[in-house]
Amino acid sequence: MRVAILSKAMLVGAYQRKAEEIAAIPGVELTVFVPPRWSGPVASIERVFTRGYDLRVLPVAFGGHYHVHFYPTLGRELATLRPDLFHVDEEPYNLATFHAYLAGGRVGAARVFFTWQNIDKTYPPPFGWIEPWIIARSDGVIAGVTDAAAIVRRKGFRGPLAVIPQFGIDPDLFSPPLVRPPGPFSIGFLGRIEAYKGVLDLVDACSGLTVDWRLTFVGEGPASSEVIARAAGLGVSDRVTIRPPVPSTEVPEVYRSLDAIALPSRTTPRWKEQFGRVLTEGMACGAIPVGSDSGEIPTVIGDAGFVFPEGDAAALRDRLTTIAVDQELAATLRRRGRERAMTHYTQRAIAAQTVELYHQALAGRRS
């Protein structure tokens, strides 16, 4: 089975491990197309996990624009490659997906898209026209979360569909420290520093902790200045640090320095937390997950950490306090977190589920 994947996310070195695992499955010949650069913490391609498959860089038009970018030379690449199945790692309403499906259709490939969209929305033209066109021509769909799968079904897709996170964890890269680092109780937040991510709730919650604590934000975003101002207003500036994003392969070391990884997201009319990859990565590295009840967060955390009502800083503070003072419980949660990550969220497990969906899509197309 010749498979091609188009994925801007796979320019991130750590995510390429999934491609290695897919390529290692017998009978799969894999090519991955990525842009040379994108906006975000990883601005240009990293080549980290590249064994067993062909990683090709394609020029991108309107790079950095999620909904209107596309790859001008993709058609020529597919005409030469002639894959049996083409996996477009994009939402069904994006121009890149439309352009890719046209190119894939011309070479007779079965076509699959990926969706995180967990809020049922209608889109203005041309995106509202693109989405039903894509759904009608898809041989399979991968949804990152159950809400996204339900939406695709409501919009008319009747073919093979699987709920599979977009990327998993490399258990060798994401591993707990041999010895817990000494020092103050350490809480971390990794990702875009946005108000809807609950970052101010996190500062408020930590400011009332009675244990010795430190809070580290790793990322950047428009709410950075608000975080600094809130910490100053609460008199805890010396305990709150904002670090710039780090390369993907250095992220595990950040997690290993933490006692708790927080994701205090707040649902908005147009967004709710789609998955929370930082939770699975943190669990694998021994950081205890604490998240709000927005979107998929409670499902991801399971019994490995704590969930609190979104926007409730006092409840968040209570959960953090419990972890800080109950060392026996903390050890239990760290063990559960590692086990949960290894059972459900490794790159190998996700690769196997993904290839199974590919086989279903091809079988349905042939029948």
pLDDT tens digit sequence for 95-146: 999 999 999 999 999 999 999 999 898 899 999 999 999 999 999 999 999 9
* Nearest in space to 17 (alpha carbons), one of 56, 57, 52: 52
Q: What would the pLDDT profile of 215-245 be if each residue is shown by its tens digit?
A: 999 999 999 999 999 999 999 999 999 999 9
For residues 141 and 212, membership in a common domain is answered with no
Of the ranges 92-106, 190-204, 352-366, which one carries the lowest mean pLDDT score? Answer: 352-366
Q: What's the pLDDT at 22?
A: 98
The total of structural domains in the chain comes to: 2
Range of the domain at 209: 185-344
Domain CATH for 314: 3.40.50.2000
Q: Give tens-digit pLDDT for 318-361.
A: 999 999 999 999 999 999 999 999 999 999 999 999 999 999 99
Pairing mode, strands 2-6 and 306-308: unpaired
Q: Report the pLDDT averaged over residues 46-56.
A: 95
Do 321 and 243 have their domain in common? yes
Torsion angle, alpha carbons of 81, 85, 91, 92, to 10:
110
* Closest by Cα among 60, 80, 90 to 72: 60
Does some domain include residue 81? yes
Per DSSP, what are the bridge partners of residue 186? Answer: 214
Q: What are the E-state strand segments in 62-196?
A: 85-88, 110-115, 140-143, 161-163, 185-190
Q: Maximum Cα–Cα distance for the chain, whole Å?
A: 67
- Per-residue confidence band for 42, with pLDDT thresholds at 50, 70 and 90: low
Domain membership of residue 173 (yes or no) is no
Mean pLDDT of all residues in 288-305? 96
Same domain, yes or no, for 108 and 150?
A: yes
The pLDDT score that the predictor gives to residue 312 is 98
> What's the average model confidence in pLDDT over 298-317?
97
One domain, residues 158 and 245: no
Query: Is there a domain that residue 178 lies in?
Result: no
What is the pLDDT confidence band of residue 40, given thresholds at 50, 70 and 90?
low
Predicted local distance difference test score (pLDDT) of residue 170: 86
Looking at the structure, do residues 94 and 111 belong to the same domain, yes or no? yes
How are strands ordered across the β-sheet holding 306-308? 240-243, 213-218, 185-190, 260-263, 288-292, 306-308
In the structure, what pLDDT confidence band is assigned to residue 367 with cuts at 50, 70 and 90?
low
Angle, CA 213 vertex, CA 211 and CA 219 arms, to 5°: 155
With the C-alpha atoms ordered 100, 101, 106, 112, is the resulting torsion angle positive or negative? Answer: positive
Q: Is residue 180 part of a domain?
A: no
Residues 115 and 199 in one domain: no
Nearest alpha-carbon partner for 104 in 355, 357, 365, 351? 365
Residues 156 and 256 in one domain: no
Burial 245-254 (b: 16+ CB within 10 A, else e): beebeebbeb
Rounded mean pLDDT of the chain?
95
In terms of domains, do 153 and 283 share one? no
| Pairwise CA distance, residues 366 & 102, whole Å | 19
Rounded (5°) CA angle 331-333-338: 100
Residues 6+ positions from 190 with CB-CB distance below 8 Å? 217, 218, 219, 251, 254, 255, 261, 278, 282
Whether residue 174 lies inside any domain: the answer is: no
Predicted pLDDT at 39: 76
Q: Indicate if 292 and 339 belong to the same structural domain.
A: yes
Residues 112 and 126 in one domain: yes
pLDDT of residue 364: 85
Q: Is the domain of 207 the same as that of 351? A: no
Q: 179 lies in a domain?
A: no
Same-domain pairing of 164 and 236: no
Distance of CA 249 to the CA centre of its chain: 15
Q: Is residue 175 part of a domain?
A: no
Instruction: Establish if 224 belongs to a structural domain.
Output: yes
* 70: exposed, middle or buried (Cβ count in 10 Å: 0-12, 13-18, 19+): buried
Angle between helices 199-207 and 224-233 (to 10 degrees): 20
